[in-house]
Amino acid sequence: MSTTTPLKGPGATSTYDGKPLRIGIIHARWNTTLIDALLAGTLKSLHAAGVQNNNIEIQSVPGSYELPFAAQQMIRAGVTQHAAGSVGGVLAAVGEKAGDLLGGSVTDLTSLPKAKPVTQEKSTGLTGPFDAVIAIGALIKGSTMHFEYISDAVSHGLMKVQLDTGCPVVFGLLTLLTEEQGLERAGLKEGGHNHGEDWGSAAVELGVKRRGWE
Ligand code: DLZ
């Protein structure tokens, strides 16, 4: 039987308008060659869907194990900045306060900005909280059980974050048995496919649908 659609992959998708969406990207820095390519693929599809650069916030963490916590914090900060101006503004404010604190001039810890529970606010457009967050990492199996533990923890962690916060978290974690598999899935090998492009599209689709569901 011949078919024009590939057996694997997300199948035919509708076009979603990403122009009003705010997307957060949190990526690990381990295996940088793969991460750089996956990030580029993700941005390519976000831009193709109309997501504006000033509505994309990119942050990094050392390794994939840190992704769930960082995704959760970004989502919380995104909600808080709805009142404060921008995520950068909030982080800068936290940094300033922390600097003061280290310098000994701030003694009242309650003056530090606090994240509000995510459920208190909804997406409201360009200056609102994130419509979706994409977590990107690449785990390569070694000779110990490290890979299995981190893969499991990150998968469950990211699922928990999206269900707890109500903000979609796209699973951009490659769990690779070989480096070769990574090159294929980052589109760095002949005949390969950059999975980052799928993650960008998934974020836009979920972000748009979420606005309809809320
Ligand atoms: C320690 C470690 C190892 C061995 N391998 C990877 C990997 O392939 N991909 C990845 O993203 N991170 C790796 N890490 C780092 C952990 O994810 C984590 O950053 C550290 O254990 C510190 O918590």
Query: Over the stretch 32-50, which tens digit does the pLDDT of each residue have?
Result: 999 999 999 999 999 999 9
Residue 31 or 109, more confident: 31
pLDDT at 119 over 70: no
Q: What is the mean pLDDT of the chain?
A: 82
**2-11, 60-69, 163-172, 174-183: the lowest-pLDDT one:** 2-11
pLDDT given for residue 122 in this prediction:
38
Closest CA to 31 of 158, 150, 162: 150
The verdict on whether 146 is a catalytic residue reads yes
Average the pLDDT over each of 30-39, 77-86, 99-108, 179-188 and give the range with the smallest value.
99-108
pTM given for the model: 0.80
Residue 19 Cα to ligand 1 middle (Å): 34
Q: How far apart are CA 106 and CA 103, in angstroms?
A: 8
Top pLDDT among 210 and 125 is at 210
CA distances from 129 to 42, 114, 134 (A): 20, 15, 14
Is ligand 1 within 6 A of the CB of residue 28? yes
* pLDDT at residue 176 in the model: 98
Q: Which fold has domain 23-213?
A: Rossmann fold (3.40.50)
- Which burial class, exposed, middle or buried, applies to 139 when counting CB atoms under 10 A from its CB (0-12, 13-18, 19+)? buried
The per-residue pLDDT for 138 is 98
Written as one string, the DSSP assignment of 103-169 is HT----GGGS--PPPGGG----STTSS-SEEEEEEEEE--SSSHHHHHHHHHHHHHHHHHHHHSS-E
Q: What is the token pair recorded at 31? A: 């295996």
pLDDT of residue 185: 98
Mutate to test the pocket of ligand 1, among 39, 139, 179 (most ligand atoms within 8 A of CB): 139
What is the pLDDT at residue 83? 52
30 CA → ligand 1 middle, Å: 7
Cβ of 130 closer than 6 Å to ligand 1, yes or no, is no
Model pLDDT for residues 125-162, shown as the tens digit of each residue: 434 699 999 999 999 999 999 999 999 999 999 999 99
Least confident of 24-33, 63-72, 85-94: 85-94
Find out whether 86 and 133 touch, Cβ atoms under 8 Å. no
Residue 93 in this model has a pLDDT that exceeds 70: no
Decide: 25 in ligand 1 pocket, CB within 6 A: no
